[in-house]
Amino acid sequence: MAEHDFRYNLLNPEHTLIECRALAPGRYQVTGNGGSIQSGDTLLVTLKGSRELSMRLQADKVRHLINPRGQWVAVATGPAFKELAIFNWQANCDSCNAQLNFEFAVDASLGKKAQAPAAEARIKELGWPKNAKHLCPACINKEAA
């Protein structure tokens, strides 16, 4: 079981993602080129409309195409979004006022109440924990020292 990175920021023409579309919540059809994908492999793909967010998909079935050479189509499972929404927010360090501009994804069908928890989870992923306040990594290191 290998992991294949198809994020847009890599820009590797021999190993590219052509299309990733939702078939149903949690089921995706992925078309790509290169990477010799097999069933059971993990695919790391960029979320549509995002500069930095990605998701992991588990390839269930893979079909390698004869023409064009090296192209494949996979059916994969992953995060179940009914309606994907990507937001850009900011957080400020409560100690030094450093600013973090970040993106996060949320299921828009859950409504506005789901945005704050999704944003907090993304901030923690980026290393800005919130116990009682947001702290940037530099301030966290100062407190630990």
Please write the tens of the pLDDT for every residue from 63-103.
999 888 889 999 999 998 888 899 999 988 888 888 989 99
Residue 41, pLDDT score: 95
Q: Domains in the chain and their CATH numbers?
A: 3-77 (2.30.130), 84-144 (no CATH)
Residue 13, pLDDT score: 64
| Tokens 């050479």 found at | 69
Q: Strand pairing of 3-6 and 16-24?
A: unpaired
Tell whether the model's pLDDT for residue 43 goes beyond 90.
Answer: yes
User: 60 has which bridge partners?
Assistant: none
The pTM of the full predicted model, rounded to 2 decimals, is 0.78
Residue 72, pLDDT score: 94
Residue 82, pLDDT score: 87
| Residue type (1 letter), 113 | K
